[in-house]
A and B are shown apart, each in its own frame.
Chain A
Amino acid sequence: MTQTDPLVEIRGLNKYFGSNHVLRDIDFSVARGEVVCVIGPSGSGKSTLLRCVNLLETPQSGTVKVNEQELTDPDCDIDAARRQIGMVFQQFNLFPHHSALDNCTLALTTVLKKKRDEAERIARENLERVGLAEKVDAYPARLSGGQQQRVAIARALSMDPALMLFDEPTSALDPELVGEVLTVMRRLADEGMTMIVVTHEIAFAREVADRVVFMDGGGIVEQGKPSTLLSEPREPRTRDFLKRVLEPVAD
């Protein structure tokens, strides 16, 4: 792993929902080009951590820096900062009143003020990248879950982000559609995209991640190379969790 300046740098992050202390003093950084998978039990704060990276959630204390820019600084133009951070949601969140193409062009024209034909060129390019060149005119309701999620990835990529955030991108998909989305993500990782992926797909983490982070109870319990962490975890909590997800038995 390179020792150059990290793309994401989080220090002393605390997040409360009311009295619920959801993130406890998190320090976390991601190098340029690194692929980090975040795993952990439900309610451990994975989504919240991810949503703090682009400030969809506002932390009570701590700093979030992305690409040298401090998002938690009150003077930061948060809309401008978010343009370089793509986000992919569990529920896709495609805009149902727009075609696949317009889902991708909308932010290009309204946020980046690009001309219509240039926006369309970029959108087509990215829809092709996720293997949906022939679905440009389809509306989300006409697409399968896997196709919708790939459009969502293309939509985020159209903004040419420096960082991609994925929050359980395959959890809402039928099992037979998971593969096509993971394939797109694997290719993205191979192209050198910096990615933070919250996932329950341990096999994907093992294969694609440079680093795996295990969270529990609002903190990072353990992190390391996938080969080490997933095979010989040091912490008993990690071991318990992996045992549960790798050997799913009826409860």
Chain B
Amino acid sequence: MTNRGAGVGQRKTSPRIRARRIRAVQYAVLVVAFIAAALLADWPQIGRTFFDPGLIRDTVAHGLWLALWNTLVYTAGGFVLGLVAGTLLAMMRLSEVGPYRWLATIYIEFFRGLPALVVFMAFSLLPLAFPGLAMPLPPYGTVWAALGIVGSAYMAETIRAGIQAVPKGQIEAARSLGMSAGQAMWKITLPQAFRIMIPPLTNELIMLIKDSSLVFIVGLSAANFDLTKFGRAAANSNVNITPLVVAGLGYLVITLPLSIIVRRMEAAASKGR
């Protein structure tokens, strides 16, 4: 005890003073970086290429809303398909039948490991393998299937984890009241699992919104352009980045509120515990 006391006395700076110094250095670095950026960059040029006011107005007036709508339609279809397939895969992962478990595991690991871009490319080339194959509702069928496949692999794991997070005692209580395995699943397990799953499923929805930008691989007519393709086309024809910036803001209009909702739900969940 006395030795430790002596040690503290010998220390030159107290931890609190040291922490304050480290913080001061961090602020100094930040200020220097800002000054350098302000002096070295050509701000008028940057403003013209990224935020040309005329071009912003033009982009919004000519096709932005349609592109936003298309992005939403592509994502919604992919999400619904992914949710259905993901639930099925989760059930397979939890099955008593070994081969179902293995098939689901292989599928999930395969499609979680592949870049979504590769899945889209494979889908756009599918007619090579199946001559005469026509996906329904072109281009939606192809886009929804590709997004659904990518999404289902992630959602399956979320759904499985949600189901497994419901305590075993819940099912035992349900079964001891005479409910069948199916009734216990629908009335007891899934409603509780779903609450657990909402935040991660919303994150996966955000991911799918961004992955929907890969639809350009499929080859689209202008009326079917999504936000990215629309922004890029306008940027190319105007030789200016502004339309792409506007398209990017279009994504944020959808994804930011979703992110905020997820944060809120996660905070509420951790408080409730």
**A85 engages B183 (CB within 8 Å):** no
Ordered by A's residue number, 30 sampled pairs between the chains whose C-beta atoms are within 8 Å are A56-B172, A56-B176, A79-B175, A79-B178, A79-B179, A79-B180, A82-B176, A82-B177, A82-B178, A83-B177, A85-B176, A86-B176, A87-B172, A87-B173, A89-B172, A89-B173, A91-B167, A93-B167, A93-B169, A93-B172, A94-B173, A95-B170, A97-B191, A97-B192, A97-B195, A107-B177, A107-B179, A111-B179, A141-B272, A155-B177
> Which residue of chain A is the closest to B179 with respect to CB atoms?
A111
A95/B173 contact (C-beta < 8 A), A83-B178, A110-B187 known: yes
Q: Does chain A have a CB within 8 A of B117?
A: no
CB-contact partner of B170 in A93, A111, A141, under 8 A: A93
Docked complex Cα distance between A56 and B174 (Å): 11
Contacts of A106 in B (CB 8 A): 177, 187
CB-contact partner of B176 in A87, A91, A96, A112, under 8 A: A87
Docked complex Cα distance between A144 and B130 (Å): 63
Q: Does chain B have a CB within 8 A of A80?
A: yes
Point out residues on B near A: beta carbons under 8 Å: 167, 169-170, 172-180, 183, 187-188, 191-192, 195, 272
Contacts of B192 in A (CB 8 A): 96-97
Contacts of B180 in A (CB 8 A): 79
Docked complex Cα distance between A159 and B177 (Å): 8
Docked complex Cα distance between A156 and B178 (Å): 10
Q: Does chain B have a CB within 8 A of A54?
A: yes
**A89 engages B177 (CB within 8 Å):** no
Contacts of A96 in B (CB 8 A): 192
Docked complex Cα distance between A94 and B167 (Å): 11
For the complex with contacts A95-B174, A107-B179, A112-B178, 5 further pairs of A-B residues with Cβ separation under 8 Å are: A56-B176, A80-B178, A95-B170, A110-B179, A152-B173
Docked complex Cα distance between A89 and B169 (Å): 8
**B175 engages A159 (CB within 8 Å):** no
